Amino acid sequence: MTQNTVAAVFDPERLNDRWIQVATDDRSALDRAAKATGVDFDSARDRAWETDDFVYLPIVVNIRSGGTIRRERLVFALGEDVLVTLQPSTPFAPFDKALARLRRLPHLAESAHGVMYALLYALNEAQERVIHHASDVLERMSDDIELATQGYDERGADIGVSNMQGTIRQMNAAEEVVSRSQESQLMLARAARHLRAEAEASHPRIAPLIDVLVADINGVKDHASYEHDKVRFLQQSIMTSLDVKQNQIVKVFTIITAVFLPPTLIATFYGMNFTNMPELSWQHGFLFTTVLTFITALIPLWYIRRRGWLR
């Protein structure tokens, strides 16, 4: 006797029953969702919160739009049979990836837990794209960073702080994006763990997928940590190079001061009005004073060179 199994088919209407999207600025839609499901986002606020009917999980994610990165806040309200999302807009563009996954794996749309898994999956991939974008920005700045560490530009001119201000601003922006991505990954990991605990008994088919998702989220978090360490290292390298350059400038002025201080002292003496200056009556008095001034300039220069301070 053979048993025929019917593959699940994606049903948009069934998905609408399992997943209710509410825009943050749409108060009427929020009131309708509250009446239909009993969801209460005001009680959750900005914290993970659990009631008899729902688990509220807030998440703040980075969303890339062209070359700009913006922060968006979402709140998942996971119930036994329905998932309600409080999001910036409806439809929310990053969830397009989740819809594609639900069409490819239609059995996920049969439960609120499966829908939430697809949404977290999409958000995790969106975060990974943001981190890759930050990494690409750093790669495009590699030539500027290399010149900064060398201390000279293509023409051989010294590079100062003013020359690197644009690069430093871009690196600071990249560091901020990566740091916020790390924070977002922690929120995603917490939401995935809550989802895993909720689905363990009632949805055994989804639980292994959530385990893989948790590993993927941690992998993206590790990638963000790596990029954060890299950008901090590059920042430190640039600042160290600029500090060395400034120290060299100070050293040059110090050497110039040390070389010209003795001749200046001699010139000061001979600039005074004394009644008796025997050098004025010497046949070679001017030559003697000139040679003496030259020797007093060479002595500190010789000492500085001997000590290796010119290197």
End-to-end, the C-alpha distance of the chain in Å comes to 91
Report pLDDT for 208.
92
pLDDT of residue 3: 45
Q: 281 falls in which pLDDT band (50, 70, 90)?
A: confident
- Whether the predicted pLDDT of 245 surpasses 60: yes
pLDDT score at 47: 82
Q: Is a pLDDT exceeding 80 seen at residue 205?
A: yes
Residues 85 and 125 in one domain: yes
CA angle 124–139–230, rounded 5-degree value: 70
The residue type found at 187 is M
| Weakest-pLDDT range from 69-83, 191-205, 273-287 | 273-287
Q: What mean pLDDT is predicted for residues 97-121?
A: 93
Radius of gyration of the chain (CA): 35
208 with 264, same domain?
no
CATH number at residue 262: 1.20.58
At which of 214, 247, 280 does a domain end?
247
Here the tokens at position 167 are 């690069």
The two beta strands, 68-78 and 55-65, are: antiparallel
Q: Are residues 89 and 151 in the same domain?
A: yes
Q: 34 in a domain, yes or no?
A: yes
Residue 4 lies in a domain: no
- Rounded to the nearest 10°, the torsion over CA 82, 87, 92, 94 is -90
| Rounded percentage of the chain residues whose pLDDT exceeds 90 | 39
Q: Are 132 and 70 in the same domain?
A: yes
User: What is this structure's pTM?
Assistant: 0.76
Report residue 78 CA to chain centroid gap.
Answer: 31
Q: Are residues 119 and 265 in the same domain?
A: no
Q: Which of 247, 271, 296 is the last residue before a domain boundary?
A: 247
Per the domain annotation, does 7 fall within a domain? no
pLDDT of residue 239: 77
Residue 35 has pLDDT above 70, yes or no: yes
Cis ω for the linkage preceding 300 (within 30 of 0): no
Q: Are residues 176 and 262 in the same domain?
A: no
Residue 145 forms part of a structural domain: yes
Boundary-marking domain end, from 229, 247, 265: 247
**101 and 63 in one domain?**
yes
Write down the pLDDT at residue 231.
Answer: 86
Residue 284 has pLDDT above 80, yes or no: no
* pLDDT at residue 182, as a whole number: 93
pLDDT at site 267: 79
| Among 46-60, 248-262, 273-287, the range of highest mean pLDDT | 46-60
The C-alpha atoms of residue 188 and residue 195 are separated, in whole angstroms, by 10
Q: Is residue 93 part of a domain?
A: yes
**Domain shared by 78 and 99, yes or no:** yes
128 within some domain = yes
Other Cβ atoms within 10 Å of 119 Cβ, number: 27
For residue 138, the model assigns a pLDDT of: 81
Mean pLDDT of the chain: 84
Residue 31 pLDDT exceeds 70: yes
Q: Report residue 55's pLDDT band, with 50, 70 and 90 as the boundaries.
A: very high
Q: Is residue 99 part of a domain?
A: yes
Q: Residue 223 sits in which domain range? A: 12-247
Closest CA to 81 of 113, 36, 41, 116: 113
pLDDT of residue 4: 44
Assess whether 31 and 157 both reside in one domain: yes
Predicted local distance difference test score (pLDDT) of residue 5: 42
Q: Are residues 121 and 154 in the same domain?
A: yes
pLDDT higher than threshold 80 for residue 271:
no
Higher pLDDT, 100 or 6: 100
Is the same domain home to 223 and 91? yes
Name the amino acid, one letter, at 262. Answer: P
Report yes or no on 257 lying in a domain: yes
Q: What's the rounded Cα separation, in Å, for the pair 234 and 174?
A: 11
Number of domains in the chain: 2
**Same structural domain for residues 131 and 48?**
yes
pLDDT of residue 131: 93
